[in-house]
Amino acid sequence: MIRFVGTSSGEAEMNETEGERRDERLKSYDSAIMTLSAGQKLPGNIVDMSMGGMLFEVEGLLPDIPKDDPVNITMNLYGRETSFACLVAYHRGNCIGLILQRK
């Protein structure tokens, strides 16, 4: 179940300014699995989400993931396993900024 607890602050703004932000971000502390295009699975947590993307924090070491690489985020949403197709926008430290792909 997703638990949104308010809007994000500066730690999640890594590459953006207020003028670039299109959607309000909501904090989340939910665990999720990121599946890389090569099939590797990385456990972690969703730090925040918006209608346009999310910030994912990897547990442990983050491999080098190229910008625009497709990844899949899988989490439990209201009792159902749900997946989100994303593209890597950036990564810094053990956090990855993701852009949600819309069908």
Amino acid at 78: Y
The per-residue pLDDT of the chain, averaged, comes to 82
Residue from 35, 102, 99, 31 nearest 71 by CA: 35
DSSP assignment of 31-55 equals EEEEEETTS-EEEEEEEEE-SSEEE
pTM of the model: 0.75
Domains of the chain are 4-100 (2.40.10.220)
- Residues 94/80, Cβ–Cβ less than 8 Å: no
> In Å, how far are 4, 9, 37 from 27, measured between CA atoms?
5, 9, 26
Tens digits of per-residue pLDDT, 34-46? Answer: 999 999 999 999 9
